[in-house]
Amino acid sequence: MKRVLTYGTFDLLHRGHVRLLERAAALGDELIVGLSTDEFNRIKGKHAYMSYADREYILKAIRYVDRVIPERSWDQKVADVQRYHIDTFVMGDDWQGKFDFLKDYCEVIYLPRTQDISTTKIKTDLSEN
């Protein structure tokens, strides 16, 4: 069984998120999503519109996602790769090179982001209206 891991906040879920999950899932047999906790988002200086519980509920309903785990710190990735026997780590290409240290443990792939959509763009558009 080939396992794939990705991480994110997945706030204000949009087609770009779903496309990323779909493409990540296609790279293996099981997709595990590390979902940023509300506490970790505060550490990162981010504020999610939806709570962790709501974001987790939505992610679990997406057919491409097999398991959701909490992301509590930047440093947990190596441990998660080892704990869950991850074969492929996937992130959007805006993170290009940031997770190359995981290449000692698994394959690392950066997927192109969906053009013209992002959570930041949605929040900006909403604040302008």
Q: Which residues form the catalytic set?
A: 44, 46
Question: Nearest to residue 33, comparing CAs of 116, 82, 102, 91?
Answer: 91
Assess contact for 66 and 26: CB atoms under 8 A: no
Q: Which long-range contacts (CB under 8 A, 24 or more apart) does 99-103 make?
A: 102/77, 102/78
Q: Distance between CA 9 and CA 81 in Å, rounded? A: 18
Q: Which amino acid is at 36?
A: S
